[in-house]
Chain A
Amino acid sequence: MKNVEIPGDAPRRFNTWRFAVPIFLTVAAVLYLVPVYVLLTTSLKSMAEVSRTSVWALPRRPTLEAFREAGLALAPGLKNSVLLTVPATIISSFLGSLNGFALAKLRFKGADLVFALILFGMFLPYQVVLIPLVQLLMRYRLYGSILGLIVTHVVYGLPITTLMFRNYYTAIPGELLEAARIDGAGLVTFYRRILLPLSVPGFLVAVIWQFTNIWNDFLFAVTITNDPRSQPVTVALQGLAGSLVARWHVQMAGALLAALPTLVVYIFLGRYFIRGLLSGSLKG
């Protein structure tokens, strides 16, 4: 009789891949986390302990002094970042959702072309638009302000949020819109009463993405906000560097503080990435 492999009864032979893959991944993860280790340990050190020779050492007397110092220096920047990121994220996600609705469900003439043109914006490098952007903002008296930065990020975020919502809405069956039309809903009512409640997972993805990108952006921020009073934290962090002495521990603590919001957002909202709200509305 031929040896038949029964599913579920794993073959006994030694499988190199089954061991190699996790080992490789672990090594890669450790390598990837080495800078984080340096960041953490250094930020807990005092000025005296920081030196190039003891980069790898654990802090002998851990202190939060660096965090206090960095926190004081970055507080205005953190505030500016919140004032910038929260509205820009919400507005760009909301507009992306409207765009996505129009492109996925209304199927107007030329929708595909419009979509392609919007997507094109995703592939434009920031650097290419900097000079015209600054000129434009100056003309509308938005240059140097947080508002100008918000507008910039909203516009620059639209291609990706439009793409996200368009794809998300494509998966929502058109019959839902038709049923609503027969029930008496116009486009606005459909969007508000049916599509928006179903968009929560889509919004989570878009919000996480936009929040992280806008919070972490440096190039637009440093170009558009010349005034220290309106600088977001990424630019303020740069100012921590110091001109004579490299105060590594303060910089590291500052970097951690600056990165904290995006980490928190991801930790708390990340699990919703994969949650589907739609299951059960249709067959199956």
Chain B
Amino acid sequence: MAKVILDHVTKRFPNGVVAVNDATLEVKDREFVVLVGPSGCGKSTTLRMIAGLEEVTQGNIYIGDTLVNDVPPKDRDIAMVFQSYALYPHMTVYDNMAFGLKLRKFPKAEIDRRVREAARILEIEHLLDRKPKALSGGQRQRVALGRAIVREPKVFLMDEPLSNLDAKLRVQMRAELSKLHNRLQTPVSYVTHDQIEAMTMGDRIVVLNDGIIQQVGTPLDVYDNPVNLFVATFIGTLPMNTMNAVLKQEGGRIYADLGSFRLYIPEGKFKTIGKYIGQEVIVGIRPENIFDRASVPDANEEDVVTATVDVMELIGSEVNLYMSTPTTSFTARVDAHTKAQDGAQHQVVFNTKKLHLFDKKTENAIL
């Protein structure tokens, strides 16, 4: 069983910066875990500590059942793919892939078998005699993956491996990496700043900010149930709408007062938010949970909001409506064939079942 465990791991750099703060995490066998967060959030440092390229200041890291804190990178049985690929420029593709095995004194025949097998999987057999200089970005990326694969490590570490590819190739390699993982079943720890990569590839994702793990969960779980405002706005192609409101109670019902309109909280959720009545909170709702009025003929009139369309942004099958009322503004994602018009008033329906509420001070989710 090759799992990776981070047990209260902290990294403090000599200049006092705490890059990773008390991170606890388990990457299970065969799991594809994506560490995601904005730049400087500590995700790369976390990965580099697993690799042994950075020392752990506090806490323990286990690979398999071995405590690896003081184990040098080469003995951790890991393979890493770097953002810059870090191919050896003077070596052929074959030698790049074989280098690690040669240093480990593998028999020649075994090296040859592994290199050719990896090249076949990655469809770079015809490039084995070339040097990195003669390869395209996507091909170099494959060689870098190949160099990791031939080692048959306990775990793959990937540090933004797709960031240097152009958009189209990135989407393609995303799917290929997932396929590769399904085939090899080796656990992957993958670092990216791109939440789409995290959502599409991860079995589980780990959202980091300011060196602190914010949330760990399946992509859907993190998307549906963000634990705080940061996760809510970081995950999602269009960020979640967040609006200031005051929570009020009237006739046994609770609603968020947004000034120019109200959003009623569905019944059955009162228990957790009771103590916030009369206080300011932040209301969150994803753009796809605000519907075009025309598409919901039987909408509850309470949930209907009239607002001005400031900007319309067509993205194909759907259109983003950037809307505002005198007191707040939000974005709705509706069908591209909406009758909404730039600058005109338009009616939309809030799906209040999908409302999120956040504590204004702690920014933690309260609903």
The proximity string for A residues 164-206 relative to B, scoring 1 for CB distances below 8 Å and 0 otherwise, is 0000000001011011111111000100011001100000000
**Contact indicator B133/A280 (Cβ below 8 Å):** yes
- Known contacts: A173-B84, A194-B88, A283-B85. The answer to whether A182 contacts B78 by CB under 8 A is yes
> In A261-284, which residues have CB < 8 Å from any B CB?
277-283
Q: With a 10 A CB-CB cut-off, give which of A176, A179, A281 has the most chain B CB atoms.
A: A179
Instruction: Decide: B88 and A184 in contact? CB cutoff 8 A.
Output: no
> Considering the chains assembled together, what is the distance between the CA atoms of A176 and B104 in angstroms?
18
Measured in the bound complex, the distance between the Cα atoms of B72 and A189 in whole Å is: 15
Chain A hits for B83, CB < 8 A: 175
Q: Are B89 and A183 in contact (CB under 8 A)?
A: no
> Is B103 interfacial (CB 8 A cutoff)?
yes
**Contact across chains for B84 and A183 when beta carbons are under 8 A apart:** no
Q: Is the CB of A184 within 8 A of B133?
A: no
- Cβ of B28 < 8 Å from any Cβ of A? no
Query: Are A281 and B87 in contact (CB-based, < 8 A)?
Result: yes
A142 to chain B, nearest CB (A): 38
| Cα distance A183–B81 in the bound complex, in angstroms | 11
In the complex the two chains form, is B89's CB within 8 Å of A198's CB? Answer: yes
Binding site secondary structure of chain A = helix
Which partner residue on chain B sits nearest A177 by CB separation? B86
Shortest Cβ distance from residue B77 to the other chain A in the assembled complex, whole angstroms: 10
Interfacial chain A residues near B86, Cβ < 8 Å: 173, 175-176, 178-179, 281-282
Give the distance to chain B from A76, nearest Cβ to Cβ, in Å: 41
User: Is B283 located at the chain interface by the 8 A CB criterion?
Assistant: no
- Contact residues in B for A176 (Cβ distance below 8 Å): 86, 88
In chain A, residues 227-284, which have Cβ atoms closer than 8 Å to a Cβ of chain B?
277-283
Indicate which residue in B52, B53, B90 contacts A198 across the interface (CB closer than 8 Å): B90
Is B230's beta carbon under 8 Å from chain A? no
Would A283 and B84 be within 8 Å (CB), given that A181-B72, A182-B74 are in contact? yes
A281 touches B89 (CB 8 A): yes
Chain A min CB distance to B336 (Å): 37
Partner of B104, one of A175, A184, A277, A283: A184
Complex A-B: 14 CB contacts under 8 Å: A175-B82, A178-B82, A178-B86, A179-B80, A180-B99, A181-B53, A181-B73, A183-B147, A277-B89, A279-B89, A279-B133, A281-B132, A281-B133, A283-B84
**A280 to B132, Cβ gap below 8 A?**
yes
Contact pattern, B 75-110, Cβ under 8 Å of A = 1, otherwise 0: 000111011111111100000000110011000000
Report whether B53 and A178 are in contact in the complex, using a CB–CB cutoff of 8 Å.
yes
Residues of B contacting A197 in the complex (Cβ-Cβ under 8 angstroms): 90
Bound-state CA distance A183–B74 (Å) is 6
Shortest A18–chain B CB gap in Å is 37
Nearest-neighbour CB distance to chain B for A188, whole angstroms, equals: 12
A178-B82, A181-B74 are known contacts; what are 4 more A-B pairs with Cβ within 8 Å? Answer: A181-B73, A183-B151, A194-B90, A281-B132
Given contacts A173-B84, A175-B86, A279-B133, contact A182 B99 (CB under 8 A): no
Query: CB distance A183 to B100 under 8 Å?
Result: yes
CB-CB nearest in chain A for B79: A182
The CA-CA distance from A262 to B77 in the complex, in Å, is: 51
| B contact set with A: CB distance below 8 Å | 51-53, 72-74, 78-80, 82-90, 99-100, 103-104, 131-135, 137, 147, 151, 164
Q: Are B137 and A283 in contact (CB under 8 A)?
A: yes
With a cutoff of 8 Å between Cβ atoms, the chain A residues found around residue B133 in the complex are 279-281
Whether the pair A278, B53 counts as a contact (CB closer than 8 A) is no
Q: Inside 8 A of B164's CB, which chain A residues have their CB?
A: 283
B-chain residues with CB within 8 Å of residue A198 when the two chains form the complex: 89-90
- Partner among A175, A189, A280 whose Cβ is within 8 Å of the Cβ of B103: A189
The docked-state distance in angstroms from the alpha carbon of A232 to that of B104 is 49
Q: Which chain A residue shows the least CB distance to B95? A: A193
Separation of A184 and B105 alpha carbons in the complex (Å) = 10
Give the contacts of A109-141 with B (CB-CB under 8 A).
Answer: none
Q: Is the CB of B74 within 8 A of A179?
A: no
Q: Contact between A175 and B99 (Cβ–Cβ < 8 Å)?
A: no
Establish whether residues B73 and A182, one from each chain, have CB atoms under 8 Å apart when the complex forms.
yes
* Smallest CB separation, A190 vs chain B (Å): 10
Which residue of the partner chain, among A178, A184, A185, A280, contacts B89 with CB atoms under 8 Å?
A280
B84 lies within 8 A of A185 (CB): no
Q: With both chains docked as a complex, state the minimum distance between the C-beta of A107 and any C-beta of chain B, in angstroms.
A: 11
A200 to chain B, nearest CB (A): 9
**Closest residue to A281 on the B side, CB-wise?**
B89
Which partner residue on chain A sits nearest B51 by CB separation?
A182
Q: How far is the CB of A279 from chain B (nearest CB, A)?
A: 6
Contacts of B88 in A (CB 8 A): 176, 179-180, 194, 281
Instruction: Report Cα–Cα, A173/B159, bound state, in Å.
Output: 15
Question: B127 CB to closest chain A CB, in angstroms?
Answer: 13
Residues of B close to A189: CB separation below 8 A: 103
Task: Tell me which of A180, A181, A184, A282 contacts B84 (CB under 8 A).
Answer: A282
Chain A's nearest CB lies how many Å from the CB of B75?
8
B80 closest partner in A (C-beta): A182
Please measure, in the bound complex, the distance between the C-alpha atom of A244 and the C-alpha atom of B84, giving whole angstroms.
70
Q: Complex formed: what's the CA distance from A175 to B78 in Å?
A: 16
Tell me, rounded to whole Å, the shortest Cβ–Cβ distance linking A207 to chain B.
19
Complex Cα distance, B133 from A253, in Å, reads 47
* A148-176 with Cβ < 8 A to chain B: 173, 175-176
Closest A residue to B157 by beta carbon equals A182
Contacts of A180 in B (CB 8 A): 88, 99
A272 to B279 alpha-carbon distance, docked (Å): 72
Chain A residue numbers with a CB within 8 Å of B131 are 280
Residues of B within 8 A of A181 (CB): 52-53, 72-74
The one of B53, B79, B85, B151 that contacts A282, using a Cβ cutoff of 8 Å: B85
Contacts of A280 in B (CB 8 A): 89, 131-135
